[in-house]
Amino acid sequence: MRNVFRLADRAAPIEDVPDPLRVRLPLGGARLLVRVGDAVAAGQRVAESPGLRGDVHASIGGVAAAVDGDFLTISRDPDAAPAPERLGEVAGADADALRRGLAAMGVPCADLTDADLLVVNALEPEPGVTALGALCRFESPAMLAGARLAQRIAEPSRIVLAAPRGAGLSLGPNPVHELEPRYPDGLDALTVRAVTGRERPGNAVVVGADRLWLMGRAALEGRAATRAVLTVRGRNLRVAVGASVRHVLDFAGLAAHEGDRVLLGGALRGEAVWDLDAPVPRGAYALTVLPRAAGAVYTDAACMNCGECHLICPARILVGIMARFAEFGRFEGAQRYGLDSCLECGLCAWVCPARRPLLQFIRLARRELARAAEAQPPAASMETPGDAPVEAPGAAPEARREVPA
């Protein structure tokens, strides 16, 4: 019955999707370095992110055509575009310089701190996805280069590859920790627990195989993070970041119909796009078309207290109670019941017989708490005693809105 949770241990080879004529790059709050009308080389840095979140690079050469909101559109123009740019080595004397260099190549690395153990997570994030396995299998030079770079940054005493049992993956001479490939055990926090036997140990960092591949590409070829490998109905496609979802679906021969869900990710964790022109973001690992009839229909029903959400929760949260706090706008109460521990695997909502949108309640609470923390000075924001309700008028009705079928 629970075979729906089995993660892949085989992977299809990686195919290249031809570059689109236009890409729309999500900037994620980064500061633009080019102006509309500028000629842009493929691989050129076009926006700079604060912190170590990774700068933004042009995935195709052309002309910066438009900036709308938090997106930069680049149109291909072979005449105007300078030659593709290679940024050269990720070099640096110490770990901090390397981190900055890596972020300048578009690889987020704020969490790559000093650690005893570096876990490379090659378990697929969701059932039906094979992209991470494909990277380990078919891109081993880049993966090894990534591991070498990670070694220099985090300086762990060992690097362990966490891989599906029986998949036969390896990462150079590093030890391999084989795991039963079952969702949600491929989530980073749970994989680290499986490898170390401890929950969120302070001395371990985890890097997904997809990020390690980006690091390796940067180290080996001097290429910025302008590509993502997506699993699309069993195939693994290498796509320019910022290409439209439509472009990828067309290449894969998939069509979306009225009322279907188009998901960046898989059916359990993917984010639904509402527009086929939505860009493929950096860090995407799958693109899924879920027919209307197969999609979830949530209801605005009351919790019947069966407790299945708690029993399936990998974070052992009493989800039913926590989600009710969130539903009624008592977000601090939700926090006391483990809101911060939630891994957003979605199993609670998957199993709920009343079909309550539990993950939506959780995300609502997280967003409202983040907004409240932003609005208040940092010192006074946290740790309000008791569960003094943060009244957010209108929050509950929004959460209760029925999701159209």
Kindly write out the interface string for residues 199-228 of this chain, putting x where it contacts other proteins by CB under 8 A and - elsewhere: xx-x--------------------------
Residue 347 binds other proteins (CB under 8 A): yes
> In this structure, are residues 214 and 107 in contact, taking their beta carbons and an 8 Å threshold?
yes
**Is the bond preceding residue 281 a cis peptide, omega within 30 degrees?**
no
Residue from 303, 328, 384, 389 that binds other proteins (CB under 8 A)? 303
Q: Is 244 in the site for other proteins (CB under 8 A)?
A: no
Whole-angstrom distance, CA of residue 373 vs CA of residue 381? 5
Long-range contacts of 310-313 (CB under 8 A, 24+ apart): 310/348, 312/347, 312/348, 312/350, 312/351, 313/347, 313/348
**Identity of the residue, 94 or 374, whose beta carbon is nearer to other proteins in the bound complex:** 374
**Which of 307, 367, 371, 382 touches other proteins (CB under 8 A)?**
307
Give the residue among 206, 131, 201, 111 at the shortest CA–CA distance from 162.
206
Over the window 37 to 66, marking each residue x when it contacts other proteins by CB under 8 A and - when it does not, the resulting string is ------------------------------
| Dist. CA 96–CA 103, nearest whole Å | 11
294 counts as binding other proteins under rule CB under 8 A? yes
Q: Which residues, listed in sequence order, are joined to residue 161 by a DSSP beta bridge?
A: 120, 176
User: How far are the Cα atoms of 121, 332, 392 from residue 371, in angstroms, in the given order?
Assistant: 31, 13, 11
Please answer whether residues 61 and 84 qualify as being in contact, where contact means their C-beta atoms are separated by less than 8 angstroms. yes
Is 370 a binding residue for other proteins by CB under 8 A? The answer is no
Contact 203, 128 (CB under 8 A): no
The phi and psi torsions of 248 (rounded to 5 degrees) equal -70, -40
Q: What residues contact residue 15 under an 8 Å CB cut-off, 6+ apart?
A: 235, 236, 237, 238
- Name which position in 290, 384, 389, 400 contacts other proteins (CB under 8 A): 290
**For residues 323 and 308, what is the distance between their CA atoms, to the nearest angstrom?**
13
* Interface map 88-127 toward other proteins (x if CB under 8 A): ----------------------------------------
Does 403 participate in binding other proteins (rule CB under 8 A)? yes
Asked if 265 touches other proteins (CB under 8 A), the answer is yes
Instruction: Kindly state whether residue 36 participates in binding other proteins, applying the rule CB under 8 A.
Output: no
Q: Does 154 bind other proteins (CB under 8 A)?
A: no
The correct pick among 80, 254, 276, 372 for binding other proteins (CB under 8 A) is 276
Determine, following the binding rule CB under 8 A, whether residue 311 of this chain makes contact with other proteins: yes
What phi and psi values does residue 397 have, to the nearest 5 degrees? -60, -35
Give the interface with other proteins as residue ranges (CB under 8 A).
1, 189, 199-200, 202, 256-263, 265, 267-276, 290, 292, 294-298, 300-308, 310-311, 314-318, 320, 337-338, 340-341, 343-344, 346-347, 349-355, 357, 359-360, 363, 403-405
